[in-house]
A and B are shown apart, each in its own frame.
Chain A
């Protein structure tokens, strides 16, 4: 996808996931995608989450600009905190991720696309190619949303009990590649440190 499409794609996916996992009192809000004509996603109405999503998207876009034509991932994780007694006098808050959503992105710079198109096809068809890619991306995004919903539908038992009355019932985090190259490595370390999610009853 192109850089200008990243924001809208991430919005659709992240908000769709969160709406299905925000089990608090929600007043849903339908958002018609500005970029994709036939896609409508639902927001849960939590201002904090919306703000966080926009920040993370901005950071990702900045990272993509610094690392053009590199694959990137966005991870939306839901966890619950547990106090783990590491030692006698220290407590460590442990996060138990019970659900993680990985979103893989392949952002292609327009210049690269144009140069590629120039080699393969005349420049006049770049717009046509662009529209085709846009349509393909829209279809893929729709498929991704349906897949998300399918997962939401199939897996319900692992979701922990609702502990508060907030809109977003469970703690969450959104991980994106940081400016440093080792950001993804840090993410892997964190994943290895934490155990697999338990099947909460």
Chain B
């Protein structure tokens, strides 16, 4: 009977101890590891603070009269001790600080990782609780700094001095009491109740104490911080459960204060609980340093004033980190610019949707922008272009473009169509027609711009006010001072660029017409030398082309290009492909003060100028390779340039007949329509007249047109446009009168 009672008591005591292990581990983990609380249905987190009734509680929750939230992790942790309470439970609360930003430190399961080291137990399901960090961890873990904050040890001390099966409900033990009478310590015997209700009551009090002290220790503040700033915390709390207390370092021992809780006596042992916690000062030093973590702003709008190069300093791979227990189910997003890995997420402003190219930039997303500055020293050398280089990504289609150290101006990359205005133009012109020097730099045809570009380039040298779409202008940096300065210098550099273009084209051999034909051998040399041109020179040239805002200058340059760069046969193929766009662009008349194509003397003079420029500029470019040399050459050209007015008038009147596409509109006195007539004024008259107009009428109209054209070419302003419009109106009325129709007052 007594043995039966004792056996039942032993079973009850064992049950109390087992539940004590579970409850205490639950309290410790819940109070130290964030996000362990299971969310109930509806998203509400089960919190002990809810005022709901206690009727629907599970029996396990009512143990020790302390209702806690559901925590499966704690149950799993305490599972090994359900079968064996002889081993102590050592719970280490760790502070994880990720010094090096690595990939996932812990698993992606979202469950806080912890390690259960059952060195003496062989319960398979227990060992699979977590595959958290161990001493023999991978290189990733080595980058995580672990600091032990607390060490809780729970054990059932079965070592008894008295008989284990003492059936008395009280136990006598010595208690040292200070006696005021004697002034010393006396040992008195105290009878300690060992019955189960008392044991259970004391365990309840012990757990109350544990729950309270968990909130009073300094580590609780870190727990609150981790809970509050879970996503922006640079540290995490983790735990480690084992049966053996690993030795602490000397520093840890000095920094930690032990507390031994009063054990609960039972007949079969003592329920013991102790803690070693880090001092408040030590914990304070480990608190969050910077709660704000860098993040990728996906909708960041880059401004030209921003220095993109700064973003690339200290690059590190982008990734989201699962950091430890904090973590548990939250990620600490640490984002930075990728270091070039194609698999890395795109750089923020690569995702920026530029107006010019949203789709075209997609392929370029893989290319890290960090390459851009390094591969474009030319861009770096020019402050004005630097931003351009970084703003726009290097398209994947033209890796060689980058590698050849070409300045990546925005007009070059942001839109293939627009790029064609510049680099494509240059490139294509390089191939098919006299072209700017850019073409010499890259022969890579992988970059395919619009075929209309070379036509444009041929006609105008660079885009005109009409051909340069507004997005193109928007591509230009809104850095008005730079543009202005560049634009102001454009006047000075235009000739330089023109002549650079001229010399480039001249170097390009037969496609450059007579000049090149006379100097076939020099083209190759020029080409080679152009390749060696200083990047700065090239950049100025190209940049000046981009910023061309003065239409007069554009006209001059375009006409000059037209005069010197007759189209090659291959160009026609491009023209036919882009005829619609190119012809639309060839609507305006341009005055080319420096154009000498109409006049052989001027042409020869220009050729001489170009020729003359070749030697001074080319050698200078090859020797000095500086912007100053190019500017000096340009100044010389300007000084030797023929007057504008005479050239303009001459150029208009004496349009060569071999020209295919005059850049003027000819009013056709046919059926009252104003059509574009391709061809020169003189040579293409019969073509125009094929619609049945009398020759006399044509002549008179031609004279009118000619005069009008002269007027229009010299000053193309708004006022001129209006006058032109009025002229058209008069002509229309005249034509309508001729045809017998009612005149239309307005076009």
Most chain A CB inside 10 Å of its own CB: which residue of B170, B209, B212, B262:
B212
Residue B315 CB within 8 A of the other chain: no
Of the residues B50, B170, B212, contact of A149 by C-beta under 8 Å? B212
Q: How does the 8 Å CB contact mask read for B210-233 relative to A, with 1 for contact and 0 for none?
A: 011101101011001000000000
A38 CB contact (under 8 Å) in B208, B209, B212, B221: B221
- Count residues on chain B whose CB falls below 8 Å from chain A CBs: 35
Q: Is the CB of A27 within 8 A of B224?
A: no
Give CA–CA (A181, B67) in the complex, Å.
Answer: 44
**A154–B262 contact, CB under 8 A?**
yes
- Most chain A CB neighbours (cut-off 10 Å) among B50, B51, B205, B221: B205
Which residues of the other chain, B, contact A149 by a CB distance below 8 angstroms? Answer: 209, 212-213, 216
- Given the interface pairs A20-B209, A149-B212, A152-B205, the reply to whether A27 lies near B62 with Cβ below 8 Å is no
Across the A-B interface, how many residue pairs have beta carbons closer than 8 Å?
A: 88
B48, A24: Cβ atoms closer than 8 Å: no
B148 to chain A, nearest CB (A): 20
In the complex, per-residue mask of B645-685: 1 if CB is within 8 Å of any chain A CB, else 0: 00000000000000000000000000000000000000000
In the complex, what residue of chain A is closest to B67 when comparing beta carbons?
A27
Q: A25-B67, A27-B48, A27-B54 are in contact. Are A159 and B201 (CB under 8 A)?
A: yes
- Chain A residues with Cβ under 8 A from B66's Cβ? 26, 28
Contact residues, A27-64 vs B (CB, 8 A) = 27-30, 32, 37-38, 40-42, 45
Instruction: List B residues 175-211 near A (Cβ within 8 Å).
Output: 190-193, 197-198, 201-202, 204-206, 208-209, 211
Cross-chain contact of A145 among B192, B216, B221 (Cβ < 8 A) = B216
Task: Please tell me if the beta carbons of A27 and B192 are within 8 angstroms of each other in the complex.
Answer: no
B49 at the interface (CB under 8 A from A): yes
Known: A16-B212, A27-B50. A32 touches B224 (CB 8 A): yes
Interface flag for A161 (CB, 8 Å)? yes
Chain B neighbourhood of A152, CB < 8 A:
205, 208-209, 212
Contact with B along A187-201 (1 / 0, CB 8 A): 000000000000001
Q: Could you tell me if A156 and B262 are in contact, using CB atoms closer than 8 angstroms? A: yes
Interface of A is mostly: mixed
Count chain A CB atoms within 10 A of each CB in B48, B65, B202 and give the residue with the most. B65
Most buried by A among B49, B192, B197, B261: B49
Contact B201 A23 (CB under 8 A): yes
Is there a chain B Cβ closer than 8 Å to A146's Cβ?
A: yes
| Known A145-B216, A146-B216, A154-B262: A28·B201 in contact at CB below 8 Å | no
- Whole-angstrom distance between the alpha carbons of A40 and B202 in the complex? 24
Q: Say whether B65 contacts A42, CB under 8 Å.
A: no
Residue of A nearest to B52 (CB): A27
Is A157 positioned at the interface, with any CB of B under 8 Å from its CB? yes
Residues of the A chain whose Cβ atoms lie less than 8 Å from the Cβ of B215: 30, 40-42
Q: Tell me the bound Cα distance from A149 to B206 in angstroms.
A: 10
Interface presence of A153 (CB below 8 A): yes
Q: Name which residue of chain A comes closest to B68, CB basis.
A: A28
B interface: dominant SS: helix
Tell whether A19 is near chain B: CB-to-CB under 8 Å: yes
Chain B nearest CB, measured from A78 CB (Å): 13
Say whether A162 contacts B211, CB under 8 Å.
no
The residues of B that contact A16 with a CB separation of less than 8 Å are: 212
Q: Shortest Cβ distance from A4 into chain B, in angstroms?
A: 23
Cα(A50)–Cα(B743), bound, Å: 98
B65:A161 contact, CB within 8 angstroms:
no
Most buried by A among B202, B204, B215, B224: B215
Q: How far is the CA of A162 from the CA of B262 in the complex (A)?
A: 20
Residues of A within 8 A of B209 (CB): 20, 149, 152-153
Across the interface, A201 reaches (CB within 8 A) one of B193, B213, B218, B262, namely: B193
A78 and B190 CA atoms in complex are apart in Å by: 23
Q: Which of B51, B54, B204, B211 contacts A42 (CB 8 A)?
A: B211
Q: Does A7 contact B (CB under 8 A)?
A: no
Q: Are B48 and A161 in contact (CB under 8 A)?
A: no
The answer to whether B262 touches A23, judged by C-beta atoms less than 8 angstroms apart, is: no
Q: A29's contact among B49, B190, B202, B262, by CB below 8 Å, is which?
A: B49
* A142 contacts partner chain B, Cβ-Cβ < 8 Å: yes
Select which of B50, B208, B220 is within 8 A of A19 by beta carbon.
Answer: B208
Q: How far is the CA of A37 from the CA of B228 in the complex (A)?
A: 13
Do A161 and B216 touch (CB < 8 A)?
A: no
| Separation of A26 and B192 alpha carbons in the complex (Å) | 27
Contacting pair B205 A25 (CB below 8 A): no
Tell me whether A42 and B262 are in contact in the complex, defined as CB-CB below 8 angstroms, given that A159-B201, A201-B193 are known contacts: no
**Shortest Cβ distance from residue B19 to the other chain A in the assembled complex, whole angstroms:** 15
A117 to B204, CA, bound (A): 48
Measured CB to CB, the nearest residue on chain A to B27 is A28
**Chain A, 144-201, CB within 8 A of any chain B CB:** 145-146, 149, 152-154, 156-157, 159, 161-162, 201
Instruction: Please give, as numbers and ranges, the residues of chain B lying within 8 Å of A28 by CB-CB distance.
Output: 48-49, 66-68, 211
Q: Is the CB of A30 within 8 A of B49?
A: yes
**A42–B67 CA distance with the chains assembled, in angstroms:** 13
Decide if A157 touches B192 in the complex (CB within 8 Å): yes
- Closest chain B residue to A47, Cβ basis: B51
CB atoms of B48 and A29 under 8 A apart: yes
Task: Across the interface, name the chain A residue whose C-beta is closest to B261.
Answer: A153
CA distance A40 to B209 in the complex (A): 14
C-alpha spacing A28/B65, complex, angstroms? 10
One of A26, A40, A146 near B220 (C-beta < 8 A)? A40
How close is A146's CB to chain B, nearest CB, in angstroms?
6
B212 contacts A23, C-beta separation under 8 Å: no
Chain B residues within an 8 Å CB radius of A154: 262
Question: Which of chain B's residues have a CB closer than 8 A to the CB of A23?
Answer: 65, 201, 204-205, 208
Which one, B54, B193, B262, contacts A25 given CB within 8 A?
B54
Distance (whole angstroms) from the CB of A160 to the closest CB of chain B: 9
B53 nearest in chain A by CB position: A27
Q: Report yes or no: B212 in contact with A20, Cβ–Cβ below 8 A.
A: yes
Please indicate the chain B residues that have their CB under 8 angstroms from the CB of A40 in the complex: 215-216, 220, 224
Residues of A within 8 A of B67 (CB): 25-28
Is A24 a contact partner of B208 (Cβ separation < 8 A)? no
A42 vs B30: C-alpha distance in the bound complex, in angstroms? 14
The distance from the CB of B127 to the nearest CB of chain A, in whole angstroms, is 32
Does A25 lie within 8 Å of B65, measured CB to CB?
yes
Alpha-carbon distance between A41 and B218 when the two chains are bound, in angstroms: 13
Cβ distance A49 to chain B, nearest Cβ, rounded Å: 14
Are the C-beta atoms of B205 and A159 separated by less than 8 Å?
Answer: yes
**Neighbouring A residues of B198 by C-beta, 8 Å:** 161, 201
Would B205 and A157 count as touching, CB distance under 8 A?
no
How far does the alpha carbon of A16 sit from the alpha carbon of B218 in the complex, in Å?
A: 17
- Closest chain B residue, CB of each to CB of A29: B49
- Would you list 30 pairs from A and B whose C-beta atoms are within 8 A, ordered by A residue? A16-B212, A19-B208, A19-B211, A24-B65, A25-B65, A26-B65, A28-B49, A28-B68, A30-B49, A37-B221, A38-B218, A40-B215, A42-B211, A45-B49, A45-B51, A142-B216, A145-B216, A146-B213, A149-B213, A149-B216, A152-B208, A153-B262, A154-B262, A156-B201, A156-B202, A157-B190, A159-B205, A161-B201, A201-B170, A201-B193
* Known interface pairs A19-B212, A28-B66, A149-B216; 8 further A-B residue pairs with C-beta atoms within 8 A, sorted by A's residue number: A23-B208, A27-B67, A28-B49, A41-B215, A145-B216, A149-B212, A153-B209, A201-B193
Shortest 6 CB-CB contacts between residues of A and residues of B: A29-B49, A40-B215, A27-B67, A25-B65, A27-B48, A20-B208
